[in-house]
Structure 1
Amino acid sequence: MVDFQLDEEQEALRVTVRDFAREQVAPVIAEHYEHKTFPYEVIRQMGKMGLFGLPFPEESGGMGGDYFALCIALEELARVDSSVAVTLEAAVSLGAMPIHRFGTPEQKEQWLPRLCSGEALAAFGLTEPGTGSDAAGTQTRAVFDEATDEWVINGSKAFITNSGTDITCLVTVMAVTGTNPDGSKELSTIIVPSGTPGFTVAPGYSKVGWCASDTHELSFDDVRVPAANLLGERGRGFAQFLRILDEGRIAIAALSVGLAQGCVDESVRYAQQREAFGRPIGNYQAIQFMIADMEMRAHIARVGYYDAAARMLAGQDFKRYAAIAKLNASNAAMENSRWATQVHGGYGFMNESAVGRFYRDAKILEVGEGTSEVQRMLIARGLGL
């Protein structure tokens, strides 16, 4: 029998993160968002709760949970704020997960305990100024210097989350390391610790949304790291990152559902309090229908990411279902933020309102970790087209 109900342990996690988001994140996030500051105090609390270690084994310093547990936490955080949610998502599914999946025992021992505790963050260096969806177009290069047993990296990366905080410890960089027999680029991934000479983090971007998260352009000018910093097999970097992105799409779908559900939460609350023509606006059918459609979108999107996560954890082919979940959930987030702003009227257009932030945060969900167009390509390929 198909069961989309959370078990007792999962429900306890959901409630714990929900309460944390409402009691600790909600009161402070508007100020961080307005001033574009990183919420270090919130991140420290999340680390103490074990959220950064949710899907990792206990021997690595994690909580011994699974990827679905991470998704539950992301949804509940994003119901209140997406900047905090994406900080967790990028730190776990993009930052620490490549080391967990492909790292050597020595790399795992060196990096994972700090990453699982939230004391340090890692970033995922894929996107470049001239390459987004076309990851195979990577221009950053790494040349192996046999004399010093080091990789020498030159190039740049763009829009990299968690790459410039005071607690960022590394960036995993995809670079061209040679040429394959068929003439295509040989792509490998290499760990670059923060503070390595020649590794420069540009000032943070001025963004439309996710204003309390950390995003930078990175440059590498003759950056030298030991040969032991190669992550996984040489020439397998592209395949590794594709696996990480497939998983990450489920996480972004969960985050999108959280934003979509947050729009419902805020709209129901406002519709019960705001009066027009002598009655709460929630008594009017026009408002009721708007909110009913929002709840429908959030519910269907949640079922989609639950299904994709279940397939992944069962060891089944989940690529197409992850793309479906991400595409549908990001659409739901964008639509719900639009209608939540409509329900709130002029107040919804104010940046200090939750739905104002939701509206600004929603658009990037249709772009990050694969645009909506890329998701449609993946779905079509999965159907044999």
Structure 2
Amino acid sequence: MSGAKSLNLRAGFYTEDHEAYRASMREFVRREVEPHYLAWEEARLVPRDAWLAAGEVGALGLSVPDEFGGSGESDFRYPMVVAEELAKVGATSYCLSIRLQDDIVLPYFLELCRDDQKQRWLPGMASGELIAAIAMTEPGAGSDLRGIRTSAVRDGDGWVLNGQKTFITNGINADVVIVFARTDPGAGSHGFTLFVVERDVAGFTRGRKLDKVGIAGQDTAELFFSDVRLGPENVLGEVGEGMIHLLQRLPKERLSLAAQALASAEAALRWTQDYVFERTAFGQRVGDLQATRFELADLATEVDVSRAYLQNAVIALNEGTLTTAEASKAKLWSTEMQVRVTSRCLQLFGGYGYMNEYPIARAYRDCRVQTIYGGTSQIMKEIIGRDIAERYSSYGQ
């Protein structure tokens, strides 16, 4: 119909406050990220100045309460805005680093810390002065965390921690690391505890900065713990409840990864649309070729339909009703969609898509890990499948 407006999926989802925040984030990205990002990729590390800049403009620690230096804002739409604005300039490594701290690590500190622990760690996490990580994966234990070997043994009123972790995001930069350790081998799922290990504690060392296929600027590392002595003030949450603490916070982690996937896929599609309608072949714009239009139609549909589900999941998260299965669906679909869309977008760039000077090439490398970390696609399918099966657990009985 002539003059009809296209469906605006963001209408009614983002408010004026979100859009005002977006304007400030766009300026922050233009000023502090875009001019420096490629240098960070070459150095394979995001510098601390970039963390401090994020804290200064409120891209970090938004959900930290006012008394600890944050804004006390828990609405997940704000982190989505940050992810979208960083995706537009292809700053995947930086986005992953700060979103790991805010969306994945920070909830543990906000919800499990005692008052003295909050005062100790939250102000620095809000300002960017403290960089955080969470260490779960080990060389022999990834998706099955019950197989970890890192252990903490009681010693008086404290603990002695020993073990090794790998693939740890922010591992080189981290000032505080949440470590998942076995504390009672005979207690099953109640035999694990979370500890906070600080940068300078004796016995805590970092291995190599791992050389990855993509997200080069994000520091991923091996961590080693040799007779690390920790006091009771370094226990996070309840002793023996570490596994429960993890499971309770996985939905938000997976939704964060899904949001990053969607933002990155949207950016890749936008770059591709701009490219094919600027470049000519066979006497016409590449975007006017039927084969190209059909491909763009498929890609735009995948991205838009993905946004519709994700937005509903975000609303559920804000309301406290998002289930593990629903978050797993968001993570499974969005990350697999990101890989499909980015790969097909690169194809439309032709040979230029394989050149690192084009953001689509970097996005192609960066996206592949999205279906692996935070729970592989196969694990997401298992979680969703179990949820379906449980509905029929009493069928026929």
TM-score range, shorter chain: over 0.9
Distance in 2 separating the partners of 1:4 and 1:323: 25
1:37 aligned to which of 35, 45, 55: 45
Distance in 1 separating the partners of 2:48 and 2:286: 38
2:176 aligned to which of 166, 170, 175: 170
Distance in 2 separating the partners of 1:278 and 1:103: 65
Asked if the contact 1:78/1:84 (under 8 Å) is kept, the reply is no
1:237 aligned to which of 238, 242, 247: 242
- In structure 2, the CA distance between the partners of 1:127 and 1:196, relative to structure 1 (3 Å rule), is same
The aligned counterpart of 1:143 is: 153
Distance in 2 separating the partners of 1:19 and 1:279: 36
Gaps in structure 1 of 5+ consecutive residues: none
The aligned counterpart of 1:311 is: 316
Distance in 2 separating the partners of 1:260 and 1:267: 11
The aligned counterpart of 2:345 is: 340
The aligned counterpart of 2:362 is: 357
What are the superposed Cα offsets for residues 134-166 of structure 1, whole Å, 9 maximum, x if unpaired? 0121210001101xx32100001111111211x
How many equivalent residue pairs?
379
Distance in 2 separating the partners of 1:42 and 1:312: 29
Distance in 2 separating the partners of 1:346 and 1:46: 36
The aligned counterpart of 1:48 is: 56
Alignment of 1:123-162 (within 5 A): 123-146=133-156, 149-162=157-170
Q: Determine if the alignment matches structure 1 residue 322 to structure 2 residue 331.
A: no
Q: Determine if the alignment matches structure 1 residue 282 to structure 2 residue 287.
A: yes
Describe the SS at the equivalent of 2:175. strand
Asked if the contact 2:14/2:77 (under 8 Å) is kept, the reply is no
- In structure 2, the CA distance between the partners of 1:254 and 1:317, relative to structure 1 (3 Å rule), is closer
Distance in 1 separating the partners of 2:320 and 2:106: 21
Distance in 2 separating the partners of 1:19 and 1:293: 32
Distance in 1 separating the partners of 2:39 and 2:280: 28
Describe the SS at the equivalent of 1:265. helix
What are the superposed Cα offsets for residues 209-257 of structure 1, whole Å, 9 maximum, x if unpaired? 1101111010100011111111000111011112222211011001001
What are the superposed Cα offsets for residues 271-299 of structure 1, whole Å, 9 maximum, x if unpaired? 12212123221121222222222222222
- In structure 2, the CA distance between the partners of 1:306 and 1:184, relative to structure 1 (3 Å rule), is closer
- Percent identity, please: 33
> What is the deviation of 1:317?
4.2
Distance in 2 separating the partners of 1:18 and 1:292: 28
> What is the deviation of 1:11?
2.0
Alignment of 1:31-110 (within 5 A): 31-66=39-74, 67-80=76-89, 81-110=91-120
Asked if the contact 2:149/2:181 (under 8 Å) is kept, the reply is yes
What are the superposed Cα offsets for residues 43-80 of structure 1, whole Å, 9 maximum, x if unpaired? 33212111111222222221222233223322332332
Distance in 2 separating the partners of 1:175 and 1:151: 11
Alignment of 1:171-186 (within 5 A): 171-181=177-187, 186=191
Asked if the contact 1:176/1:185 (under 8 Å) is kept, the reply is no
Distance in 1 separating the partners of 2:293 and 2:28: 29
Bigger drift between 171-180 and 297-306 goes to 297-306
What are the superposed Cα offsets for residues 316-337 of structure 1, whole Å, 9 maximum, x if unpaired? 1421111111111101110111
Code of the residue aligned with 1:175 in structure 2: it is A
> What is the deviation of 1:310?
1.2
- In structure 2, the CA distance between the partners of 1:31 and 1:262, relative to structure 1 (3 Å rule), is same
Asked if the contact 2:104/2:252 (under 8 Å) is kept, the reply is no
The aligned counterpart of 2:221 is: 216
2:34 aligned to which of 20, 26, 35: 26
- In structure 2, the CA distance between the partners of 1:197 and 1:61, relative to structure 1 (3 Å rule), is same
- In structure 2, the CA distance between the partners of 1:57 and 1:384, relative to structure 1 (3 Å rule), is farther
Asked if the contact 1:4/1:303 (under 8 Å) is kept, the reply is no
Asked if the contact 1:39/1:212 (under 8 Å) is kept, the reply is no
Code of the residue aligned with 1:342 in structure 2: it is Q
- In structure 2, the CA distance between the partners of 1:266 and 1:20, relative to structure 1 (3 Å rule), is farther
Q: Determine if the alignment matches structure 1 residue 115 to structure 2 residue 121.
A: no
TM-score (norm 2): 0.91
Distance in 2 separating the partners of 1:13 and 1:299: 23
Code of the residue aligned with 1:26 in structure 2: it is E
Bigger drift between 321-330 and 238-247 goes to 238-247
Distance in 2 separating the partners of 1:40 and 1:276: 45
Asked if the contact 2:250/2:324 (under 8 Å) is kept, the reply is no
Asked if the contact 1:338/1:359 (under 8 Å) is kept, the reply is yes
What are the superposed Cα offsets for residues 168-201 of structure 1, whole Å, 9 maximum, x if unpaired? 22101010111455x5560000110011111011
Code of the residue aligned with 1:281 in structure 2: it is V
> What is the deviation of 1:19?
4.2
- In structure 2, the CA distance between the partners of 1:54 and 1:238, relative to structure 1 (3 Å rule), is same
- In structure 2, the CA distance between the partners of 1:358 and 1:312, relative to structure 1 (3 Å rule), is same
Describe the SS at the equivalent of 1:384. helix
The aligned counterpart of 2:233 is: 228
Q: CA RMSD in A?
A: 1.9
1:331 aligned to which of 336, 339, 352: 336
Q: Determine if the alignment matches structure 1 residue 299 to structure 2 residue 304.
A: yes
Distance in 2 separating the partners of 1:249 and 1:184: 21
> What is the deviation of 1:13?
2.1
- In structure 2, the CA distance between the partners of 1:384 and 1:216, relative to structure 1 (3 Å rule), is same
